[in-house]
Structures are given as structure tokens and as C-alpha cells.
Amino acid sequence: MLRYWEYVGEAIDALWRNRARTILTMLGMIIGTSSVIAVFGISRAAASGIGTTIASFGTPGSFVAVDNQQNFPQRAQIQYRDIASIVAQTEGITAYVMPLYSTTFKVRAGSTTGFESVQSIGAYGPADTLPMQEGRKVDRADMDSAARVTTITSDIALKYFGQGSAVGKTITINGSRFSVIGVYSPLSGNLFNSLSGSGTLYIPFSTAHDMIPGPVQGIVFYQVDGVDADGAIASVKKALQHIHGPQAAYISQNGASALGTFQTVLNVIANGLSAIGAVALVVAGIGIMNIMLVSVVERTREIGIRKSIGASKKDIMLQFLMEATILSLLGGGTGLAIGLLATIGVASYISAQLGAAIIPYLMLVSLAIAFSITIGVAFGTYPALRAANLDPIEALRS
């Protein structure tokens, strides 16, 4: 072991003697490592931020709606009364089925008036798992009585009721008076707040049925634990065709599958960007090989002297291989520090826009060390072999 430490000392001395050339060679590793670490770290942080925020919505259900591309879509329209029939025909398959209503209504509270998104909601856990800022959520009693109650997002509460509590106050939706029973907490990411979680009032779907006559826009359902989601979708479609005829066509979406596909796409993007960044590491490795070949030529006489006093091929090879590896590690370590700083800076922005971003520090450090050692050994082996195979007599003559 002491012998290997001597190789390390000799390698550092050799690199220090040519420190200007060493620093220039390290630049390739610094740029390559920092780009890979930054790209990989930022993409993973973004994926975790998006995944965390999506997970806050709870278990995704499945969605079925009329396929408007069929010849007579009006014959396949889903009616509110169809829900009871679907529940009966899919007993043991679906755990909860609810109609979906979504529209824009005129909303007024006091002197404040506006047009806001109004959506139906059920009284079932997975359908509504977002945390509450104050108040409560819609419950089964509200559903059964078609109560004029609403839960609202925090920005709606601020817009119509100011900084005070909104719970217990009255808000008018499309001319009907509703009591505010709860206010949702804002989502962790500003982007999700702006895209999907803000500016909405939620009312029981039974109440929405009274206010929005006619066909429903679709149905959302959750299958019983242990039941395959695609099989449940097929059963729901079959039930609808039993009601509206075998020619009725419907489109569907498996919520869990869509979420899994989304996460897969994020991972593919992260890996793809990292692979592109890894090209810089190959270029850096070529630079290390080139400078080590130059070093072998410059130190040919030194190699001859070492061999003449008893140094073996293994000793010579290890000496030059150690120099290449240390050179790669120094560049990789500096690149790691720069890449981590960039990742931390961008991750703070991601946390504000997408949700809490988790930086995989252990993975990033492991990747940097693995890349550095691999590049050093892979591109330092040929120069080391060339030095080890030099003829000592010819080397001394040079």
C-alpha cells in the first residue's frame, strides 16, 4: 500500500511541474463533469418537483367520455341517471363513480363580481385529497341533499373575501347563493397553481346536476383495490353500451397509467440530456490521452533510467496511469462543485414553480467519481502501456 502512495506522490509532483498544462487539460473534465452533473441534477430535481405536486392530488381515477368522432355522438351522451346503472352493473369492480361537470359561471360576493371556473366534486377520498387551508370538504350529506355549499381555492377566497376567513360566508354562483365551507391550501408550485389548481369553485356533483341540466361531460371512477384499471374501464364502457346501444363509442383515460407515462417521459428526457452532456466527457478523455502521450515522449529518458535500475513494466504503467487518474479526478471534482452549485441554484427556482425539488446529492457525487475514474483509466491506459513497453536502451539513447 505504501508503494501505491508513492505513486500518488510522484504523479502529483509530475502534474505540478507542468501545472499550466495540467490546468488547461483539466478544463475539459471540468466542463464535461459540470455539464453532466448540472443537467442530470436539474432534470431529476424537476422530475421530483413535478411528481411531488402531482402526488398531492391523490390517487388518480379513470375517465370515460363520449367519443365525438362517431357517427351519432348524441345517441351515446352520458346522462346523470346513467351513474346508478353503471354502479349496479360494475358492482365489485368500481368503488366509486361520479359525473363530471365543468363550466364557467358568473360569481359575486359583496361588491366583487367575476366569471370563474366551477367544477363538480364527489365525497370520496381519492377524488379530493388536497390539504385545506381552513374549513372542511364536501361530505356525503352534502351530496345526498344537493346542498348549496362550495369549497374554493385560496386565490378565489382572497379575491372575493380579502384577508379574512371565507368559511361561513355566502357567495353567489350563477344567481344561486352558496355557503363557503372550506378553502383549499395553495399548491406548492406556482406553475401548477396557474395551470390547474387556482381560480376554481367546487360544488357537489348532485348540486351541479340541478344547475347544469342535460348530459354530463364525462364520468370519473375508481376501481376496487386489486382490480386492473384497464379492465375496470372496459366494464364501464360495456355498461354504457348496455344503456345506449352497442354502437355507442367512448374514449377513456387510465389516470394511473397516464401518470406513470408522464414520469417515464421525464426520466427519458433526464437521461437523454445527461447522455448529450456526457459527450463532453469523451472529449475531455481524449484531451487527457493526448497530454499523457506528450508526457511519455518528454519523459522517455526518465523511463529508461527507471527501467535500468529495476523498475518493472507494471511500475511504469501504474505511474502514468495514476497521473491520468489524478488529473481526471481533479477536473471531475472541480466540475462536480460547479455542477452542484448550478443544480442548487436552479432547484430553488424549480421548487417555487413546480413543487418541492429533491436533489439526489449521493447519486450526483457517485456519478462524478465514477465518471472521473473511468475516464482516467480508460484514456490513460494506452499512454501508460506505451510508456511501459518502451525499450530501456532506446529510451536511454533518446
304 grid coordinates: 529508461
- Residue 176 pairs in a beta bridge with 173
Q: What is the mean pLDDT of the chain?
A: 83
* Mean pLDDT value across residues 7-26: 80
In DSSP notation, 344-369 reads: HHHHHHHHHHTSPPPP-HHHHHHHHH
Q: Tens digit of pLDDT for each residue in 217-254?
A: 999 898 888 888 888 999 999 999 999 999 999 999 88
Q: Tens digit of pLDDT for each residue in 359-387?
A: 888 888 888 888 888 888 888 888 888 88
- 368 φψ region: left (φ > 0), alpha (ψ -120 to 50), beta (else): alpha
Parallel, antiparallel or unpaired: strands 176-184 and 132-135: antiparallel
pTM above 0.85, yes or no: no
* Mean pLDDT value across residues 144-169: 92
Of the candidates 177, 227, 202, 249, the one whose C-alpha atom is nearest the C-alpha of residue 98 is 202
Q: How far apart are CA 26 and CA 33, in angstroms?
A: 10
Confidence of residue 53 (pLDDT cuts 50, 70, 90): low
